[in-house]
Amino acid sequence: MKIVRLLLMCLICLSCKSQTKKMNGISFVASPEKINHKHISPILKVSANYVALMPFGFIKDLSSPKIIHNTNRQWFGETEKGIVQYGKEFTKSNIKLMIKPQIWVWKGEFTGDIKMESEKDWKILEDSYSEFILTYAKTAQELKAAVFCIGTELENFVINRPLFWQALVKKIRAIYKGKLTYAANWDEYKRVPFWGQLDYIGIDAYFPLSTKKSPSKEEFEEGWLVHKKEIQRVRKKVNKPVLFTEYGYRSVDFTGKEPWDSNKVIEQVNLEAQKNATEAIYNQFWKEDWFAGGFLWKWFHKHNEVGGENNNRFTPQNKPAERLLKQLYGK
């Protein structure tokens, strides 16, 4: 009888483990207006169960310490009120939330290069960033968001001010009771010093995979092998699950060469390459028990007016990649 009970318990444990649902996420782009169910319905149709909502703060340049946020000059969806409205609408549809505050540098410069020129400015930046991030930690708690991201691609800030970040995590924990991550750039995640304080190793997963014009799914998967090995090494070292806080590919030729490249130059549309790259990342990671899931970059609220087969941007909307996503997220 004891053996039978033991076997039953083992089966129950295995069943629970197999039923652990990945974060099949979408990065939802802010807009100037409120949203409703018609904007959410296309996301439900691709079987997404999470969305990332992204409030924005703005700085003038890479050495400016003041973050401006939550103003009337911003789009509604980038503000505190907008995040609350969006979050409540998604929650009505049983879609869980990751709140992911981000900074935009004037002229679109890379946030990982933000670096102050004096100790005085570092202190101002720390105070300004704390006010920004704690505002949205409170919002995340109010919305009962499943995940809160404490920063996005801020390598120089993280490396130069480690004690600030350690203290900031404690302040966030005092306000927000859900899971925490940080969105490290694909070439940054190995150097983040505070993974041990968080719940997930967050990676914006724009790893270079292939220099070919139009790689096959198998070629994209082969390109993942070296990166996957390093991700596993870091994961084992800090003993935390991995979350792709962003992932995605433009529908262009050479999309696997520099997947982070979002320049506006008109390039040759390649819908098949986007589809192959999306299927490859899913095949390589979603089967792993140490992998928590990912958030596809990116999705716009007016579904019928974006994307399409002549579009070369990141969105999968109204492209073969959208039909594929429905299959993958629906598994």
Please give the class, per CATH, of domain 22-329: alpha beta
- For residue 91, the SS3 value is helix
At 266 the pLDDT is: 63
Residue 210 near residue 223, CB atoms below 8 Å: yes
- The residue ranges of every structural domain in the chain are 22-329
Cβ-proximal residues to 103 (8 Å cutoff; 6+ apart), any chain: 56, 57, 58, 59, 67, 111, 114, 152, 154
At 264 the pLDDT is: 65
52-79: buried (b, 16+ CB within 10 Å) or exposed (e) per residue?
bbbbbbbbeebebbebbbbeeebebbbb
> pLDDT tens, 18-72?
447 999 999 999 999 999 999 999 999 999 999 999 999 999 999 999 999 999 9
Residue 28 near residue 40, CB atoms below 8 Å: no
In this structure, of 226-235, 258-267, 278-287, the range with the lowest mean pLDDT score is: 258-267
The C-alpha atoms of residue 96 and residue 261 are separated, in whole angstroms, by 29
At 3 the pLDDT is: 53
> pLDDT tens, 66-79?
999 999 999 999 99
At 6 the pLDDT is: 45
Q: Considering the entire predicted model, what is its pTM?
A: 0.93
Cβ-proximal residues to 42 (8 Å cutoff; 6+ apart), any chain: 303, 317
Q: Is 108 exposed, middle or buried (0-12, 13-18, 19+ CB in 10 A)?
A: exposed
Share of the chain above pLDDT 70, in %: 93
At 234 the pLDDT is: 98
What is the bridge-based pairing of β-strands 102-105 and 56-59?
parallel
Confidence of residue 16 (pLDDT cuts 50, 70, 90): very low
> pLDDT tens, 151-164?
999 999 999 999 99
The C-alpha atoms of residue 231 and residue 228 are separated, in whole angstroms, by 5
- Backbone dihedral angles phi then psi of residue 192, each to the nearest 5 degrees: -70, 125
The C-alpha atoms of residue 30 and residue 55 are separated, in whole angstroms, by 8
* Residue 10 pLDDT greater than 50, yes or no: no
Residue 30 near residue 302, CB atoms below 8 Å: no
Q: Give the residue carrying structure tokens 């990751």.
A: 98
The amino acid present at 240, given as its one-letter code, is K
> pLDDT tens, 300-313?
999 999 999 999 99
110 compared with 1, residue with greater pLDDT: 110
* Residue 17 pLDDT greater than 70, yes or no: no
* Residue 15 pLDDT greater than 60, yes or no: no
> pLDDT tens, 219-260?
999 999 999 999 999 999 999 999 999 999 999 999 999 999
* Residue 1 pLDDT greater than 60, yes or no: no
At 262 the pLDDT is: 85
- For residue 181, the SS3 value is strand
Residue 175 near residue 141, CB atoms below 8 Å: yes
Confidence of residue 93 (pLDDT cuts 50, 70, 90): very high
At 302 the pLDDT is: 97
* Residue 9 pLDDT greater than 80, yes or no: no
Q: Give the residue carrying structure tokens 């404490």.
A: 150
Q: What is the mean pLDDT of residues 180-188?
A: 98
